[in-house]
């Protein structure tokens, strides 16, 4: 028997990648035509995978485009960011590490970066700036890709993952203005910025008084359609030497509300449990396993939620949308109206719930199932 064809926990850009044809085509066209693009969606819906796939395609077909992908998840300061940015831009600019070491002389006038390589130059190439120089000449560093591109007759595409993380920097507002001012003027560099903290991303890119407003196209990445999931799941079972009943294949995205990461995880557990042909019963078994495996995370998450917020979530689970009506406030003990709307804002900003077409929903479908068991006395779907 082959291995499970379902992948979660890392980005998928080739084998386990399903559809997103429209989004891929649009993003690719934007990036090749110099249109900066921002992608926003809840976490684990597939932003990083989409960007990776598009960059993979571009690398194959457009040899003169240099591409850079930087994950800002664990970058803590402006200096760290600028050093990482410089390092990755220099690395992408040439395939020869000997040339990387020349970049300090070739592309900088005011700053003298310290460039070093280790035993394995490719994995061990480092950039350091002096703090004073760095503070005075941030512009020169931010303009590095444009400088190199002009000099070498190339173009850059620079992708910055979990961009909202920069907003935690001490002097973010001043830095934000600088980035915007430099990057907006660059003609040979296109930026793709994306992130999962939606209210922060919206504050940065979708707020008329913020510097990055209208920096480029804004893409709200949707969920992958049920139909696409069903055919992906069915085909993947067949290609790996198994089968799945049509009802079972449909049940997987349905239970996981088309959430990319969870659909893959539930499909993976189902694949593992099943014999030759996966059944609806297998899916329910797999669901149990999935929820129980995740319990420690969910408990931790719930620890940070206040009593009245938990009550608010019960109202959401119950399908309510008029949270300040007397009946709803009484039934779920939501506190004062002010309390209720404050809790709503906090739960939305912390990505626990979201509004979709006037209705509120949990963002994490499996967390919701656990929540219903834990706080509302419900059973898991398919359990007696």
Residues of span 181-200 touching ligand ADP by CB under 6 A: 196
Q: With binding defined as CB under 6 A, does residue 16 bind ligand ADP?
A: yes
Q: With binding defined as CB under 5 A, does residue 165 bind Mg ion?
A: no
CB of 212 or CB of 261, closer to ligand ADP = 261
Q: What separation in angstroms does the CA of 212 have from each of 177, 290, 365?
A: 8, 40, 32
Per-residue string for binding with ligand ADP, 28-57, x by CB under 6 A? -------------x-xxxxxxx--------
* H/E stretch holding 350: none
Per-residue string for binding with Mg ion, 241-260, x by CB under 5 A? --------------------
CB of 141 or CB of 160, closer to ligand ADP = 160
> How many Å is the Cα radius of gyration of the chain?
24
CB of 47 or CB of 314, closer to ligand ADP = 47
What residue number has its CB nearest to Mg ion? 48
Residues of span 23-52 touching Mg ion by CB under 5 A: 48
Cβ-based neighbours of 84, under 8 Å, separated by 6 or more: 70, 75, 127
Q: With binding defined as CB under 6 A, does residue 7 bind ligand ADP?
A: yes
CB of 14 or CB of 106, closer to ligand ADP = 14
CB of 51 or CB of 283, closer to Mg ion = 51
Strand locations in the chain (E):
37-40, 65-71, 114-117, 125-128, 155-161, 189-195, 217-220, 243-244, 277-278, 353-356, 359-362
Binders of Mg ion: how many residues, by CB under 5 A? 1
Least distance from Mg ion to the Cβ atom of residue 196, Å: 6
Applying CB under 6 A, the span of 129-137, 164-172, 259-267, 363-371 interacting with ligand ADP comes to 259-267
DSSP per-residue string spanning 326-341 = HHHHHHHT--SHHHHH
Distance of alpha carbon 384 from alpha carbon 374, whole angstroms = 16
Distance of alpha carbon 304 from alpha carbon 300, whole angstroms = 7
**199-209 exposure pattern, b = at least 16 Cβ within 10 A, e = fewer:** ebbbebbbeee
Contact residues for Mg ion (CB under 5 A)? 48
Contact residues for ligand ADP (CB under 6 A)? 7-12, 16-18, 20, 41, 43-49, 196, 260-261, 264
């Amino acid at each position: 028997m082959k291995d499970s064809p379902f992948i979660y926990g890392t980005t998928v850009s080739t084998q386990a990648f399903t559809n997103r044809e429209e989004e891929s085509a649009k993003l690719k066209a934007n990036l090749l035509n110099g249109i900066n693009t921002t992608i926003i969606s809840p976490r684990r819906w597939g932003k990083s995978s989409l960007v990776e796939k598009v960059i993979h395609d571009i690398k194959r077909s457009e040899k003169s485009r240099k591409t850079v992908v930087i994950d800002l998840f664990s970058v803590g300061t402006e200096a760290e960011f600028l050093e990482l940015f410089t390092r990755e831009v220099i690395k992408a600019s040439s395939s020869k590490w000997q040339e990387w070491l020349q970049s300090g002389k070739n592309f900088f006038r005011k700053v003298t970066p310290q460039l070093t390589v280790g035993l394995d130059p490719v994995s061990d190439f480092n950039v350091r700036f002096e703090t004073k120089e760095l503070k005075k000449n941030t512009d020169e560093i931010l303009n590095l890709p444009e400088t190199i591109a002009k000099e070498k007759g190339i173009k850059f595409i620079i992708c910055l993952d979990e961009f909202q993380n920069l907003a935690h920097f001490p002097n973010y507002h001043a830095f934000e203005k600088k980035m915007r001012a430099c990057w907006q003027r660059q003609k040979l560099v296109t930026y793709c910025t994306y992130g999962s903290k939606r209210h922060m991303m919206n504050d940065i890119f979708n707020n008329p008084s913020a510097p990055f407003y209208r920096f480029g196209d804004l893409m709200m990445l949707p969920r992958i359609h049920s139909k696409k999931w069903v055919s992906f799941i069915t085909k993947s079972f067949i290609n790996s030497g198994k089968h799945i009943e049509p009802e079972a294949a449909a049940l997987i995205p349905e239970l996981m509300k088309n959430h990319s990461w969870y659909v893959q995880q539930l499909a993976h557990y189902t694949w593992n449990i099943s014999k030759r042909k996966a059944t609806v019963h297998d899916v329910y078994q797999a669901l149990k396993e999935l929820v129980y495996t995740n319990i420690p995370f969910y408990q931790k998450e719930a620890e940070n939620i206040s009593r009245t917020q938990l009550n608010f979530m019960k109202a959401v689970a119950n399908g309510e949308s008029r949270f300040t009506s007397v009946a709803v406030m009484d039934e779920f003990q939501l506190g004062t109206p002010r309390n209720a709307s404050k809790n709503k804002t906090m739960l939305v900003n912390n990505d626990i719930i979201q509004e979709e077409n006037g209705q509120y929903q949990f963002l994490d479908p499996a967390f919701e199932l656990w929540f219903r068991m834990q706080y509302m006395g419900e059973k898991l779907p398919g359990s007696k």
